[in-house]
Structure 1
Amino acid sequence: MASHIVKIIQSFYITHDVKCFMVEKPENYDFIPGQATDVSINIPGWEDKVRPFTFTNLREQKYLEFMIKIYRDHDGVTEMLGGINAGAELILHDVFGAIQFKGPGVFIAAGAGITPFISIFRDLYKQNKLYGNKLIYTNKTSEDVILDAELRRLLKNDYIKVFTRENVIGFTGKRIDRNFLIENISNFGQHFYVCGPADFVANISKNLLELGVTSDTLIVEE
């Protein structure tokens, strides 16, 4: 497996527990929007502790960007990432990932599961091809939403927020279940992109398939 040591150019928090990292881009290193790579920290004892993170930048940009949820109670890679900043080094590996744009459709994300879709949305917007896609994005509370202002700007009325632990005026305070999908989606013959925790992806996928979505048009991380 090829590896590349890259320096962190900039890092900053974009929510209370999600940190954005802009890092050097190795020469000839490329990805398809929606894809990811395994990342580790270039610190003794941490070089082999890899975790998968998705690229969120446009592929033509001269840097790479990751938006990483920091789990402060796990004593692991993300907690360590929470404490490192510009000048520190990361180790990147090969690019992988099944999530990529196949055609207009509905994107359903939970929490940090939005990250594969960010690069896709930015790329489609740049090509003036984002219209006709819808995002349903669920989080515990409004404070957990990643890039809310940008998603509103890009998707406008095709952006539905769902909060599971907060009732905010004007927004839906419930879970994405079978009834929610029926109420908010009129066409199950289009593409569906689902990303989030494993249980979330499994439940949403099961509901979509029961509602007539085919396995060919259901795109999830394998």
Structure 2
Amino acid sequence: MTHALILLDTVTLTPDTRHYVCSKPDGYAFQPGQATELSLERDGWREEKRPFTFTSDPDADVLSFTIKSYRDRDGVTAELWHAQPGDRFLIGDAWGAIEDKGPGVFVAGGAGITPFIPILAARARSGTLDGCRLIYSNRTAADIILRPFWESLDGLQVQFVVTDEDNAPFADRIDAEMLDTAVGKAAAPVYLCGPPAMEDAISEMLTGIGVDPERILREGDG
């Protein structure tokens, strides 16, 4: 089913990432971590559907998305960057992606943080962040989406990684030693979302340190 949204507001979070706040259709429901296909209600763009994760509270009276725009490409995210309040979007029903399977280690790369925003925010609201750790990799410190938010969450252990910036006060890569320290010996899930090459590399490192593949929850694994 197709639902029409009206863009209410945008908030710039990083040089290429914005938070889009939209109207919410009556009765529309989703779970933290779920996504939908979104397109612009505009000639030439209605059929250009792309998957985006909801980053709002499911109980809120608005829908929101946090989207990184690739403005050097002639695509949907570049077009979204120019969207203004009053513009209309089209979305389908919500579908599964990563869901909360309990406290664990959340490993994200770039825009792969988006499924973890509502999941960890929901845990923060319910006071159940203990046992959760976030490892978040970006090219530069300026690319870290919602850094003040992550740093403000009591109970969440946060480790930022910056790969392409000299003298950044963070580790410069995720390696097996870092993962081994973060994951430990507990049988908690490891949530993983980022570019496919990163997901593949991290999954290989995790299995290499003895993590059961059943514990590795990747976007799209259902």
Gaps of 5+ in 2: none
Q: 1:202 to 1:130 in 2, by over 3 A?
A: same
Query: 4+ runs of 1 displaced by more than 4 Å?
Result: none
Q: How many Å apart are 1:183 and its aligned residue?
A: 4.0
CA distance in 1 between partners of 2:154 and 2:202 (Å)? 22
| Aligned residue among 208, 212, 215 for 1:214 | 212
Deviation at 1:190, TM superposition (A): 1.4
Amino acid at match of 2:94: V
3-state DSSP of counterpart to 1:204:
helix
Whole-angstrom distance in 2 between the partners of 1:207 and 1:155: 29
For normalisation by structure 1, the TM-score amounts to: 0.94
The answer on whether the counterparts of 1:188 and 1:212 sit within 8 Å (CA) in structure 2 is: no
Alignment partners' CA distance in 2, 1:156 and 1:126: 12
Tell me, yes or no, if the aligned pair for 1:98 and 1:219 is still in contact at 8 Å: no
Asked if structure 1 preserves the Cα contact closer than 8 Å seen for 2:133 and 2:182, the reply is no
Matched with 2:9 is 10
Between the aligned partners of 1:107 and 1:148, the Cα distance in structure 2 is 15
Aligned residues: 220
Whether 1:196 aligns to 2:194 is yes
State the one-letter code of the partner of 2:161.
V
- Distance in 1 between residues matched to 2:203 and 2:77, nearest whole Å: 28
Stretch moving more, 96-105 or 178-187: 178-187
Structure 1 residue aligned with 2:43:
44
SS for the counterpart of 1:130 is coil
Q: TM-score, normalised by structure 2?
A: 0.94
Structure 1 residues without counterparts, runs of 5 or longer: none
Q: Is the 8 A contact 1:42 1:90 kept in 2?
A: yes
- Could you say what secondary structure the match of 1:201 adopts? helix
In structure 2, what is the Cα distance between the partners aligned to 1:88 and 1:195?
29
Give yes or no for the alignment of 1:108 onto 2:107: yes
Identity of aligned residues (%): 38
